[in-house]
Structure 1
């Protein structure tokens, strides 16, 4: 299908995704379930982290045990909806560094407009995981990755909850070196750039706001 796309079809993720899609799910439940899904997705997106060895002593004997080595990885949240995934990822890896990219989509042109960019230093030495619940048109993701590469990032992954084929294709073409990890590849975009069947506007559903 797409060489750089991974769809995580774990039963727990698919069950929780159904709850997130349901329009009757409350704001509080949506926020909590998204955080839970993020933890499971986090295990997938970090499964190739580099391990070293460290000598420790258990209550019974000394062993050489695995530990994460190298610079702390960096999660980069695309504001504002990305923070809904970020919370769960930090539950999993509380020592991770965090960056933020503020990008707003023009609802008429569907183009991305950046208004904020702040990341940790030494991005070239870190795994950088960009997080945004939705990969729709791909414009926001491409802009974020463009800026991260300008800032020095070399190893980048994109993590989302739901993706549209149009967004996957566009991001893959612009940045074929960036793996895309998602819980679902949905059918298509509608004429105003929303994913079908999707789950609506993730930011509005996380924060209880309207468009």
Structure 2
């Protein structure tokens, strides 16, 4: 496995992902599980955040305690499904800035088409985590990261719930400087660009639109 591809292997994540894969899981259940998994994924992807110390007063005494330092965070959601992960991530780190990129997949070419982008002006000074539940063909992730680089982003990671080997390979080829973090890499893509065995369309399952 490429050292810049991390499969976050945790029993709680694996269990919750199985519950999400079940086709009879309700919209409410799916949405709730996605938010819970987002907490766990965020915990892992932020392991390398730098710490400094500050002097605080506990109820017992004064002490030098650890606190986050260094570059601030920005979470960028690839609409619309990315918002399911985003909600859980912001709950865990409410001080992070948030950006959005709107992409849709052309049903014929499977290419990503951008229709919206709004990110912090100082994105070049922040650690950026780009989020989308599914890394299938990789086209949306590649287009989003390309656009963010044009906006000045330099320090990026990509976080997803599920990935296909084809999507991982495509993103690594296009942006080898962007590490990939995922809960699982499935078997393959089918002819329609869906991950197999996968969990269906994450946006439709999250919002109950199919």
* Structure 2 counterparts to residues 65-104 of structure 1, below 5 A: 65-104=65-104
1:70-126 CA-to-partner distances (Å, cap 9, x unmatched) read 343000000000000001001100111000000000121100000001001211211
1:23-58 CA-to-partner distances (Å, cap 9, x unmatched) read 000000000000000000000111101111111011
Answering whether residue 37 of structure 2 is matched by residue 34 of structure 1, we say no
Structure 1 outlier segments of 4+, above 4 Å: none
CA distance in 2, matches of 1:148, 1:85: 19
TM-score, structure 2 length as denominator? Answer: 0.98
Q: How many residues align?
A: 210
TM-score, structure 1 length as denominator? Answer: 0.98
CA distance in 2, matches of 1:2, 1:187: 17
Q: Which residue of the partner structure matches residue 122 of structure 2? A: 122
Q: CA RMSD for the aligned pairs?
A: 0.8
CA distance in 2, matches of 1:80, 1:180: 20
CA distance in 1, matches of 2:84, 2:167: 20
Q: Which residue of the partner structure matches residue 154 of structure 2? A: 154
Secondary structure of the residue that 1:200 maps to in structure 2? coil
Q: Which residue of the partner structure matches residue 18 of structure 1? A: 18
Listed as ranges, the gaps of 5+ residues in structure 1 are none
CA distance in 2, matches of 1:137, 1:122: 30
Secondary structure of the residue that 1:128 maps to in structure 2? strand
